[in-house]
Amino acid sequence: MPDFIEPLRRRLVELGCPRAQVRRLVREVADHREDLTQAAVSEGLSGADAEARANASLGDPLALAEELMTALRRSSWWGRHFVVTFCLLPLLDYPVLWTLLLLLQMAFGFALGYGWNWEKLHVVANNPVTFHHLTMAIQFMDYAAIALVALFFCWLARRSAVSLKWMVTACTVCSVVAVIMYAKFEPHSFFVGFAMNSHLHMPWFRGAIPLLVAGAMYVFQRRTTQRFREKVAG
């Protein structure tokens, strides 16, 4: 009797279904298959025939995995409107999310380093050496904010069960916006804005961050699938 559940599980993993969903779907389909088998046995079929009928009722496990993924995709707004979510939304959401995350990190850093004491911050801003260190810290926060926004869209892509190409598309849009958006930090002032002719420090690196995140997520996905295949084979 060909196994039904493992091909289903493998295909769901290959299609990028979130792990928790894979576990739950596989468990429930296995329960469903068991119910179909029991129903067939109660009709007088032998164990093997009942299993064969249950498998036939469920159809091809690979096709079922595709159907489950389609249903999963349709069950969320993000999955139903994937073009808007992964092409247009990063364009509109990136500036807001990035600014919020950057301000949040700065507020956290300020609270942690200076205990919300403005006098201390003024002293730091007036000293070129300490101000240089502060600028570097904010630059790091800027990179972290870019990576977090890209990660948010990767998470949304995983959660919506859309294909990897939509995750890459969203990260590419983030990358373009990251290059033209900037944060400028000067003693006693802070600006956020757009500039095509950027005077930023390493704007190409800012643009590369979302692509690096997309690449890392792609590798993670491939490794997860590979690990699962090895586990099944072993």
Is 171 one of the binding residues for other proteins (CB under 8 A)? no
Stretch that binds other proteins, among 68-76, 169-177, 202-210, 225-233 (CB under 8 A): 68-76
To 5 degrees, how large is the angle CA 226–CA 10–CA 1? Answer: 130
- Residues 6-25 within binding reach of other proteins (CB under 8 A): 21, 24-25
Task: Yes or no: say if 182 and 203 are a contact pair by the CB < 8 Å rule.
Answer: yes
Q: Binding segment for other proteins among 26-34, 103-111, 130-138, 191-199 (CB under 8 A)?
A: 26-34
Q: Does 71 bind other proteins (CB under 8 A)?
A: yes
C-alpha–C-alpha distance, residues 226 and 234, integer Å: 12
Judged by CB under 8 A, does residue 3 bind other proteins?
no
**Can you list the alpha helix ranges (DSSP code H) found in the chain?**
5-14, 19-42, 47-58, 61-74, 77-80, 82-83, 89-114, 118-126, 128-160, 164-180, 203-233
Cβ nearer to other proteins, comparing 55 with 105: 55
The residue from 3, 6, 35, 186 that contacts other proteins (CB under 8 A) is 35
**Site track 211-230 with other proteins (rule: CB under 8 A), x = hit:** --------------------
Number of residues lying near other proteins (CB under 8 A): 22
Q: Which range binds other proteins by CB under 8 A, 70-78, 93-101, 166-174, 218-226? A: 70-78
What's the CA angle centered on 22, arms 24 and 85, to 5 degrees? 110
**CA-CA distance, 71 to 59, in Å (whole number)?**
16
Please list every residue from 93 through 112 that binds other proteins, using CB under 8 A: none
In the complex, the smallest distance separating the C-beta of residue 77 from other proteins, rounded to whole angstroms, is 11
Asked if 29 touches other proteins (CB under 8 A), the answer is yes
32 binds other proteins (CB under 8 A): yes
CA angle 149, 150, 155 (to 5 degrees): 95
Q: Is 47 in the site for other proteins (CB under 8 A)?
A: no
Q: Is 36 in the site for other proteins (CB under 8 A)?
A: yes
Q: Does 75 engage in binding with other proteins (CB under 8 A)?
A: yes
Of the two residues 58 and 180, which places its CB atom closer to other proteins in the complex? 58
The neighbour count for residue 137, using CB atoms within 10 Å, is 15
How is 86-148 classified by DSSP, letter by letter? Answer: IIIHHHHHHHHHHHHHHHHHHHHHHHHHHTT-HHHHHHHHHSHHHHHHHHHHHHHHHHHHHHH
**Cα–Cα distance for residue pair 95/91, rounded to 1 Å:** 8
List interacting residues with other proteins (CB under 8 A). Answer: 21, 24-25, 27-29, 31-32, 34-36, 57-59, 64, 67-68, 71-72, 74-76
